[in-house]
Every structure is written in structure tokens, then in C-alpha cells.
């Protein structure tokens, strides 16, 4: 069996103790992520996003096991009593996985002090108000042929704006729009958060993989915004300009053949 590394920083002992003991018993665990073949994640979708953010530069595939609630992207292969489902353990021992390539969002920003920032988000990236005042911002959708909303005389007032990958569409984006984007779709979702332009609400929309969303924030020292990647705020940073785009960087997620990643998403879309 290949070597697995597991980070239990967010481990919920009350919920997952039996599952963790089963993992200790049946998996070849190592203490250092650099010595591992795969990174095992026990928890929910939020734990997966956190672990990807923490270990994305290691270049290791992630193997998610559900220890949360819904867990759209987590595999239900270990019961609450620690027993494995069907042929799961056998397939793990035989390294019988299928790989899903999950694209990441590229985030580029310039602060009010001219400081440049660049990083990648696995699920979603957003800018939102940090103070009890609405944000004011311009949007420009940079496309190959026909840019959109690039008139700097038009501005939006609102609580913020979010961009997500199909992977991240099951989280905050779903709560805002009541919809999700199927895994494997080469696009991103954009969800304005209570944003209006000329007193008309701006609804969510989809962008193709070649488009970029450029955001220019107004009066940032008075209408202070913040920048958040996968639920974690970029500390001590007030963005003034932000560009979100779907990158060519992918995260490898391992799934067993008997676990159908799309089932939960399809069930939600059909409910």
C-alpha cells in the first residue's frame, strides 16, 4: 500500500474517533507529508479546502474521506463504527483509484499601498465588506472578443462578490444562488453578494475558462474590503484592485471506483 499522510489539526474526536482508529489500523501512515504518496483528508468539504490550501505546493494527490455532514466531495467509505464499505479497503490496498483534476482560481491583487498579492484558491475566492458600510466597486469582464461591464462610470454597491470553481460551487456559492456547477465543467461561477447597479440587483453568472473578472474597489479606506481565499482572510491587506480567473493549475483528488463523485451533485440538482 502507498504511504499516506494525515493532518488531524481539525480532527473532531467526538464524531470521527472510530474512523481515525480504522485509518491508523489499515493505512500505511507516515509522519511527514514529504515522505507520503497521498494526503488523506478526514472531515468535510471545508477541511478538504483547508488542507489543499495548506499542502497544495507539495504536489501530492488528496484522498478525501467523509467525516463531516454532507461532504459533497468526501467519500463515504468508512462507517461510524470504523468498518469499511464493500470493497473499499481492498481497492485502497491495490491502489485502485480514479483521479479527478480540480482546477484552481488564480487571484491577483494590488493593495491600497501598492502591495502585490498572488495566490490560488481551490474552492472560492471573494472580496467582501469588512466594515458596516457597503462596498463600492467596478467590474470588468475581460474576454477574448467582447469585454463586458468595463465602463468605469458605472459602479456597484453591495456586500461583495465571489468567484468559485465547480468544486467550490457546493459551498458559499450554493447558499447565495441556490445552484451548483457540475464537476468537470470548465467554467467558474460569479455571485455578487447583495450587489446592485443603478438600483437594479446584479444576479449571478457563469464565465468561461478564458475570461477574467477584474474588480476595482472604491473608497477602500472608508468602505474597507477584505480578500478571502477558501474561507481564510488575507491578513493585513486591503485590496484596491483584484483579478480572478480560472488557472491552468489543478489539484489531483483520488476517488475509489465505487464512489461516484457526481452522485451528490446530481441528487442536489434533481431535488
List, as one string, the DSSP characters of 35-73: G-SEEEEEE-HHHHHHHHHHHGGG---EEEEE-SSS-TT
Euclidean distance between CA atoms 71 and 145, whole angstroms: 39
pLDDT reported for residue 135: 96
Which secondary structure element, helix H or strand E, spans residue 14, and what is its range?
helix 13-26
Does 142 have pLDDT greater than 70? Answer: yes
| Closest among 106, 120, 126 to 55, alpha carbons compared | 120
Q: Which residue has the cell 491577483?
A: 108
* CATH 3.40.50.10330 intervals, the chain: 3-95
β-sheet bridge partners, residue 197? 200
Tell me the whole-structure pTM to 2 decimals.
0.91
- For the domain made up of 3-95, give the CATH fold: Rossmann fold (3.40.50)
Report how far apart, in Å, the C-alpha atoms of 93 and of each of 26, 34, 99, 210 are.
9, 21, 16, 40
Q: Which tens digits make up the pLDDT trace of 55-88?
A: 999 999 999 999 877 788 899 899 989 999 878 8
How far is residue 39's CA from residue 264's CA, in Å, rounded to a whole number? 23
What are the residue ranges of CATH 2.60.200.30 in the chain? 103-249
Domain 103-249 maps to which CATH number in 2.60.200.30, 2.40.30.10, 3.40.1160.10, 2.60.40.420? 2.60.200.30
Amino acid at each position: 500500500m502507498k504511504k499516506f499522510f494525515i493532518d488531524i489539526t481539525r480532527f473532531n474526536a467526538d464524531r470521527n474517533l472510530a474512523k481515525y482508529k480504522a485509518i491508523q489500523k489499515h493505512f500505511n501512515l507516515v509522519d511527514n507529508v514529504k515522505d507520503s504518496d497521498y494526503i488523506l483528508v478526514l472531515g468535510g468539504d471545508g477541511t478538504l479546502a483547508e488542507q489543499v490550501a495548506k499542502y497544495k505546493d507539495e504536489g501530492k494527490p488528496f484522498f478525501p474521506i467523509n467525516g463531516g455532514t454532507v461532504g459533497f466531495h468526501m467519500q463515504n467509505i468508512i462507517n461510524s463504527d470504523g468498518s469499511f464499505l464493500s470493497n473499499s479497503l481492498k481497492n485502497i490496498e491495490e491502489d485502485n483509484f480514479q483521479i479527478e483534476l480540480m482546477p484552481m482560481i488564480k487571484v491577483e491583487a494590488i493593495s491600497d499601498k501598492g502591495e502585490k498579492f498572488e495566490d490560488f484558491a481551490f474552492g472560492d475566492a471573494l472580496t467582501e465588506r469588512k466594515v458596516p458600510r457597503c462596498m463600492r466597486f467596478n467590474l470588468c469582464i475581460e474576454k477574448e472578443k467582447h469585454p463586458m461591464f468595463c465602463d468605469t462610470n458605472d459602479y456597484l454597491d453591495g456586500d461583495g462578490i465571489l468567484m468559485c470553481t465547480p468544486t467550490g460551487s457546493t459551498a458559499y456559492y450554493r447558499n447565495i444562488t441556490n445552484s451548483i456547477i457540475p464537476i468537470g465543467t470548465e467554467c467558474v461561477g460569479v455571485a455578487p453578494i447583495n450587489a446592485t447597479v443603478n438600483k437594479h440587483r446584479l444576479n449571478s453568472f457563469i464565465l468561461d475558462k478564458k475570461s477574467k473578472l477584474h474588480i476595482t474597489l472604491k473608497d477602500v479606506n472608508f468602505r474597507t474590503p477584505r480578500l478571502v481565499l477558501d474561507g481564510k482572510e488575507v491578513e493585513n491587506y486591503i485590496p484596491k484592485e483584484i483579478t480572478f480567473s480560472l488557472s491552468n493549475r489543478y489539484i489531483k483528488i483520488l476517488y475509489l471506483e465505487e464512489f461516484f463523485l457526481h452522485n451528490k451533485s446530481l441528487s442536489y440538482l434533481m431535488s
